[in-house]
Protein backbone atom coordinates (compact mmCIF):
# COMPACT_ATOMS: atom_id res chain seq x y z
CA UNK A 1 0.00 0.00 0.00
CA UNK A 2 1.25 3.49 -0.86
CA UNK A 3 0.27 5.17 2.40
CA UNK A 4 0.85 8.84 1.41
CA UNK A 5 -1.44 8.48 -1.61
CA UNK A 6 -4.25 6.84 0.32
CA UNK A 7 -4.01 9.32 3.20
CA UNK A 8 -4.20 12.20 0.72
CA UNK A 9 -7.12 10.55 -1.04
CA UNK A 10 -8.99 10.14 2.25
CA UNK A 11 -8.28 13.75 3.21
CA UNK A 12 -9.51 15.12 -0.12
CA UNK A 13 -12.37 12.64 -0.56
CA UNK A 14 -15.26 15.11 -0.10
CA UNK A 15 -13.77 17.46 -2.70
CA UNK A 16 -12.66 14.95 -5.31
CA UNK A 17 -15.88 12.91 -5.14
CA UNK A 18 -17.86 16.08 -5.83
CA UNK A 19 -15.46 17.08 -8.62
CA UNK A 20 -15.66 13.62 -10.15
CA UNK A 21 -19.46 13.74 -10.31
CA UNK A 22 -19.46 17.23 -11.79
CA UNK A 23 -16.84 16.28 -14.37
CA UNK A 24 -18.86 13.26 -15.53
CA UNK A 25 -21.93 15.46 -15.90
CA UNK A 26 -20.17 18.20 -17.84
CA UNK A 27 -17.70 16.28 -20.00
CA UNK A 28 -19.07 15.26 -23.44
CA UNK A 29 -18.85 11.53 -24.08
CA UNK A 30 -17.19 11.13 -27.44
CA UNK A 31 -17.88 8.07 -29.61
CA UNK A 32 -15.37 5.49 -30.72
CA UNK A 33 -13.84 6.05 -34.15
CA UNK A 34 -15.66 4.72 -37.19
CA UNK A 35 -14.34 3.15 -40.38
CA UNK A 36 -12.06 0.13 -40.89
CA UNK A 37 -10.10 -0.88 -37.80
CA UNK A 38 -7.21 -2.19 -39.87
CA UNK A 39 -5.11 -1.17 -42.83
CA UNK A 40 -1.69 -1.23 -44.44
CA UNK A 41 0.99 1.21 -45.58
CA UNK A 42 3.15 0.01 -48.46
CA UNK A 43 2.63 -2.51 -51.22
CA UNK A 44 2.70 -6.28 -51.15
CA UNK A 45 2.83 -8.57 -48.16
CA UNK A 46 3.42 -6.79 -44.87
CA UNK A 47 6.86 -7.13 -43.34
CA UNK A 48 5.37 -6.70 -39.87
CA UNK A 49 1.88 -6.47 -38.44
CA UNK A 50 1.09 -4.21 -35.49
CA UNK A 51 -1.87 -4.84 -33.21
CA UNK A 52 -2.86 -2.07 -30.79
CA UNK A 53 -5.11 -3.14 -27.92
CA UNK A 54 -6.47 -1.16 -25.02
CA UNK A 55 -9.03 1.33 -23.80
CA UNK A 56 -10.40 4.45 -25.50
CA UNK A 57 -7.14 5.36 -27.20
CA UNK A 58 -7.13 2.01 -28.99
CA UNK A 59 -10.82 2.54 -29.81
CA UNK A 60 -9.97 5.86 -31.47
CA UNK A 61 -11.98 8.09 -29.16
CA UNK A 62 -11.20 11.70 -30.00
CA UNK A 63 -11.08 11.27 -33.79
CA UNK A 64 -13.69 10.50 -36.42
CA UNK A 65 -12.02 7.55 -38.14
CA UNK A 66 -9.56 4.83 -37.11
CA UNK A 67 -7.13 5.94 -39.80
CA UNK A 68 -6.58 9.06 -37.67
CA UNK A 69 -5.95 7.01 -34.54
CA UNK A 70 -2.90 5.66 -32.80
CA UNK A 71 -2.41 2.34 -34.62
CA UNK A 72 -2.76 3.85 -38.09
CA UNK A 73 -0.69 6.95 -37.38
CA UNK A 74 2.14 4.99 -35.75
CA UNK A 75 2.27 2.49 -38.59
CA UNK A 76 2.09 5.27 -41.20
CA UNK A 77 5.00 7.19 -39.72
CA UNK A 78 7.06 4.03 -39.28
CA UNK A 79 6.42 3.21 -42.94
CA UNK A 80 7.54 6.70 -43.97
CA UNK A 81 10.63 6.40 -41.77
CA UNK A 82 11.69 2.90 -42.80
CA UNK A 83 10.11 2.36 -46.22
CA UNK A 84 8.86 -1.03 -45.04
CA UNK A 85 5.40 -2.41 -45.75
CA UNK A 86 3.54 -2.40 -42.44
CA UNK A 87 0.02 -3.47 -41.50
CA UNK A 88 -2.03 -2.36 -38.50
CA UNK A 89 -5.08 -3.47 -36.58
CA UNK A 90 -6.66 -1.95 -33.50
CA UNK A 91 -8.95 -3.47 -30.85
CA UNK A 92 -10.16 -1.17 -28.10
CA UNK A 93 -13.04 -0.71 -25.66
CA UNK A 94 -14.01 2.75 -24.50
CA UNK A 95 -14.09 2.86 -20.70
CA UNK A 96 -12.51 -0.56 -20.16
CA UNK A 97 -10.23 -1.54 -17.31
CA UNK A 98 -7.40 -3.98 -17.87
CA UNK A 99 -9.49 -6.83 -16.43
CA UNK A 100 -12.37 -6.01 -18.78
CA UNK A 101 -10.05 -5.81 -21.77
CA UNK A 102 -8.60 -9.24 -20.97
CA UNK A 103 -12.09 -10.74 -20.71
CA UNK A 104 -12.98 -9.19 -24.07
CA UNK A 105 -9.83 -10.47 -25.78
CA UNK A 106 -10.44 -13.98 -24.45
CA UNK A 107 -13.61 -14.06 -26.57
CA UNK A 108 -12.51 -11.89 -29.50
CA UNK A 109 -11.23 -13.06 -32.86
CA UNK A 110 -7.63 -11.92 -32.51
CA UNK A 111 -5.99 -10.90 -35.80
CA UNK A 112 -2.56 -12.16 -36.78
CA UNK A 113 0.15 -9.92 -35.38
CA UNK A 114 3.90 -9.78 -34.95
CA UNK A 115 3.89 -7.06 -32.29
CA UNK A 116 1.23 -6.01 -29.77
CA UNK A 117 1.13 -2.52 -28.24
CA UNK A 118 -0.99 -2.05 -25.11
CA UNK A 119 -2.50 1.42 -24.54
CA UNK A 120 -4.08 1.26 -21.10
CA UNK A 121 -4.23 2.72 -17.61
CA UNK A 122 -6.65 5.66 -17.45
CA UNK A 123 -9.70 3.67 -16.35
CA UNK A 124 -7.66 1.66 -13.86
CA UNK A 125 -6.39 5.00 -12.57
CA UNK A 126 -9.85 6.49 -12.09
CA UNK A 127 -11.19 3.28 -10.54
CA UNK A 128 -8.19 2.99 -8.21
CA UNK A 129 -7.22 -0.54 -9.26
CA UNK A 130 -4.67 -1.79 -6.69
CA UNK A 131 -1.15 -1.85 -8.06
CA UNK A 132 -0.58 -5.51 -7.19
CA UNK A 133 -3.77 -6.46 -9.01
CA UNK A 134 -2.82 -4.33 -12.01
CA UNK A 135 0.47 -6.24 -12.20
CA UNK A 136 -1.29 -9.60 -11.93
CA UNK A 137 -3.65 -8.59 -14.72
CA UNK A 138 -0.74 -7.65 -16.98
CA UNK A 139 0.73 -11.11 -16.44
CA UNK A 140 -2.67 -12.66 -17.17
CA UNK A 141 -2.98 -10.63 -20.37
CA UNK A 142 0.46 -11.69 -21.54
CA UNK A 143 -0.37 -15.33 -20.90
CA UNK A 144 -3.69 -15.00 -22.74
CA UNK A 145 -1.98 -13.53 -25.79
CA UNK A 146 0.61 -16.32 -25.81
CA UNK A 147 -2.12 -18.94 -25.50
CA UNK A 148 -4.15 -17.45 -28.34
CA UNK A 149 -1.17 -16.48 -30.51
CA UNK A 150 1.94 -18.51 -29.55
CA UNK A 151 4.01 -16.71 -32.18
CA UNK A 152 3.86 -13.58 -30.00
CA UNK A 153 6.40 -15.23 -27.68
CA UNK A 154 9.05 -13.91 -30.08
CA UNK A 155 8.42 -10.29 -29.06
CA UNK A 156 7.58 -8.69 -25.70
CA UNK A 157 4.24 -7.00 -25.11
CA UNK A 158 4.84 -3.28 -25.68
CA UNK A 159 3.51 -1.23 -22.74
CA UNK A 160 2.72 2.32 -23.84
CA UNK A 161 3.19 4.81 -21.03
CA UNK A 162 0.09 5.40 -18.91
CA UNK A 163 -1.34 8.74 -20.14
CA UNK A 164 -0.43 11.85 -18.10
CA UNK A 165 -3.79 12.27 -16.39
CA UNK A 166 -2.56 15.34 -14.50
CA UNK A 167 -2.54 17.18 -17.86
CA UNK A 168 -6.15 16.40 -18.79
CA UNK A 169 -7.81 19.80 -19.00
CA UNK A 170 -11.27 18.32 -18.36
CA UNK A 171 -10.26 17.51 -14.79
CA UNK A 172 -10.20 20.24 -12.13
CA UNK A 173 -7.63 20.47 -9.36
CA UNK A 174 -7.08 18.80 -6.96
CA UNK A 175 -8.78 15.82 -8.68
CA UNK A 176 -6.47 16.15 -11.67
CA UNK A 177 -3.34 16.06 -9.55
CA UNK A 178 -4.53 13.17 -7.38
CA UNK A 179 -5.36 11.03 -10.42
CA UNK A 180 -2.10 12.03 -12.07
CA UNK A 181 -0.30 10.76 -8.99
CA UNK A 182 -2.14 7.46 -9.28
CA UNK A 183 -1.42 7.20 -13.01
CA UNK A 184 2.30 7.56 -12.33
CA UNK A 185 2.07 4.73 -9.78
CA UNK A 186 0.54 2.40 -12.39
CA UNK A 187 3.12 3.54 -14.92
CA UNK A 188 5.80 2.50 -12.44
CA UNK A 189 4.30 -1.01 -12.50
CA UNK A 190 4.94 -1.03 -16.25
CA UNK A 191 8.54 0.05 -15.77
CA UNK A 192 9.28 -2.58 -13.14
CA UNK A 193 7.76 -5.39 -15.21
CA UNK A 194 9.82 -4.35 -18.23
CA UNK A 195 13.00 -4.41 -16.12
CA UNK A 196 12.17 -7.69 -14.40
CA UNK A 197 10.80 -9.60 -17.41
CA UNK A 198 12.30 -8.07 -20.57
CA UNK A 199 11.42 -11.13 -22.65
CA UNK A 200 7.74 -10.57 -21.90
CA UNK A 201 7.35 -6.79 -21.52
CA UNK A 202 8.91 -3.66 -22.99
CA UNK A 203 8.21 -0.13 -21.79
CA UNK A 204 7.41 2.48 -24.46
CA UNK A 205 7.51 6.06 -23.18
CA UNK A 206 6.94 9.49 -24.67
CA UNK A 207 7.67 12.92 -23.20
CA UNK A 208 4.86 15.06 -21.75
CA UNK A 209 2.83 16.96 -24.34
CA UNK A 210 1.75 20.31 -22.95
CA UNK A 211 -0.18 21.78 -25.89
CA UNK A 212 -3.96 21.72 -25.16
CA UNK A 213 -4.54 21.44 -28.93
CA UNK A 214 -3.32 17.86 -28.67
CA UNK A 215 -6.48 17.00 -26.73
CA UNK A 216 -9.93 16.43 -28.24
CA UNK A 217 -12.83 18.74 -27.40
CA UNK A 218 -13.59 16.73 -24.26
CA UNK A 219 -10.24 17.73 -22.78
CA UNK A 220 -9.59 14.08 -22.02
CA UNK A 221 -8.67 12.11 -25.14
CA UNK A 222 -6.06 12.84 -27.81
CA UNK A 223 -7.16 14.80 -30.85
CA UNK A 224 -6.06 13.84 -34.35
CA UNK A 225 -3.05 16.10 -33.81
CA UNK A 226 -2.45 14.35 -30.50
CA UNK A 227 -2.35 10.87 -32.01
CA UNK A 228 -0.05 12.12 -34.79
CA UNK A 229 2.24 13.72 -32.25
CA UNK A 230 2.48 10.61 -30.07
CA UNK A 231 3.34 8.56 -33.17
CA UNK A 232 5.89 11.10 -34.39
CA UNK A 233 7.60 11.37 -31.00
CA UNK A 234 7.85 7.58 -30.65
CA UNK A 235 9.40 7.23 -34.11
CA UNK A 236 11.76 10.19 -33.63
CA UNK A 237 13.06 8.88 -30.32
CA UNK A 238 13.88 5.55 -31.91
CA UNK A 239 10.93 3.27 -31.27
CA UNK A 240 10.13 0.95 -34.14
CA UNK A 241 8.24 -2.25 -34.71
CA UNK A 242 10.56 -4.85 -33.15
CA UNK A 243 11.67 -7.73 -35.27
CA UNK A 244 10.56 -11.03 -33.75
CA UNK A 245 13.03 -11.94 -31.03
CA UNK A 246 14.08 -8.34 -30.32
CA UNK A 247 13.29 -6.71 -26.99
CA UNK A 248 13.13 -3.14 -28.15
CA UNK A 249 11.83 -0.44 -25.85
CA UNK A 250 11.96 3.31 -25.79
CA UNK A 251 12.57 5.12 -22.51
CA UNK A 252 12.05 8.86 -22.34
CA UNK A 253 12.55 11.34 -19.58
CA UNK A 254 9.64 12.09 -17.30
In a domain, 13, yes or no: no
Residue at 149 is within a domain? yes
Number of domains in the chain: 1
Each residue's pLDDT, cut to its tens digit, for the chain (254 residues) gives 578 888 888 888 889 888 888 888 888 889 999 999 999 999 999 999 999 999 999 999 999 999 999 999 999 999 999 899 999 999 999 999 999 999 999 999 999 999 999 999 999 999 999 999 999 999 999 999 999 999 999 999 999 999 989 888 888 999 999 999 999 999 999 999 999 999 999 999 987 777 888 999 988 899 999 999 999 999 988 786 655 444 443 443 33
DSSP of the chain: --HHHHHHHHHHHHHHHHHHHHHHHHS--PPPPBS-SEEEESSSS-SEEEEEEESTTTTTTTSSBGGGSHHHHHHHHHHHHH---EEEEEEE-TT--HHHHHHHHHHS-PPP-SEEEEE--HHHHHTT--HHHHHHHHHHHHHHHHHH-GGGGGSPEEEE----GGG-TTSPTTHHHHHHHHHHHHHHHHHHHHHH-TTTEEEE-------GGGB-TTSSSB-HHHHHHHHHHHHHTT--PPPTT----B----
pLDDT at 151: 92
Domain membership of residue 77 (yes or no) is yes
Task: Look at residue 1 in the predicted model and tell me its pLDDT.
Answer: 57
- The predicted pLDDT at position 245 comes to 43
Q: Which domain holds residue 143?
A: 46-236
Q: What is the pLDDT of residue 254?
A: 38
* 164 in any annotated domain: yes
CATH number at residue 169: 3.40.50.1110
Q: Is residue 112 part of a domain?
A: yes
Quick one: pLDDT at residue 239?
A: 80
pLDDT, tens digit (0-9, with 9 covering 90-100), for 177-189 = 999 999 999 999 9
In a domain, 125, yes or no: yes
- Per the domain annotation, does 17 fall within a domain? no
Is 231 a domain residue?
A: yes
Amino acid sequence: MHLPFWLTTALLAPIVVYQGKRTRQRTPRLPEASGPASGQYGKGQADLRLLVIGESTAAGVGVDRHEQGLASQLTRQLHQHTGRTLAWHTLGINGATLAQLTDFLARADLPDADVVLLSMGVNDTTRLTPRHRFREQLLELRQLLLTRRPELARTPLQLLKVPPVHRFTALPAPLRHLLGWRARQLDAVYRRLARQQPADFAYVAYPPMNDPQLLARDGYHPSAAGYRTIARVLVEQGWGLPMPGDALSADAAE
